[in-house]
Amino acid sequence: MSTEIGRRAEEAAAKFLQKQGLKVIEQNWRTRWCEIDIVAEKAQEVYFIEVKYRSNTDFGSGFDYITPRKQRQVRFAAEFWLGQHRNQPKSCHIAAIELTGVPPQVIEWLPDI
């Protein structure tokens, strides 16, 4: 996937989340050890969101690529992010959003995986 289409997919995901009432805090948050596609919040709850884009579903959906290993990586990154931010939320969620097509469009949002 090109960097440009990935950026467009993340922008489409962020706009979708904002329409759902979430406030996007960070996009493409990275450290030397980990990354989070989108960090968003709503009602003192923080969502660590994995964005999965596929131009088509010939080889499976984007969610098919969120393996147990990827879930562990996202959890590690979320814990790292929380360690760097003093304002602790009431609760946290590991979430995922799936997009497909050109231009990218959201096909599914899972607020808790």
Of residues 49, 52, 53, 51, the one with CA closest to residue 24: 49
- Please check the confidence at residue 49 and state whether its pLDDT lies above 70: yes
In the predicted model, what is the mean pLDDT of the chain?
89
- Number of domains composing the chain: 1
Which pTM value belongs to this model?
A: 0.89
Which CATH number belongs to the domain containing residue 32 in this structure? 3.40.1350.10
Output the pLDDT for position 101: 86
Q: Which tops the pLDDT comparison, 3 or 34?
A: 34
| Band (69; pLDDT cuts 50, 70, 90) | very high
- Burial (0-12, 13-18, 19+ Cβ within 10 Å), 80: middle
The parent domain of residue 65 ranges over 3-110
Query: 87-103: per-residue pLDDT in tens?
Result: 777 789 999 999 998 88
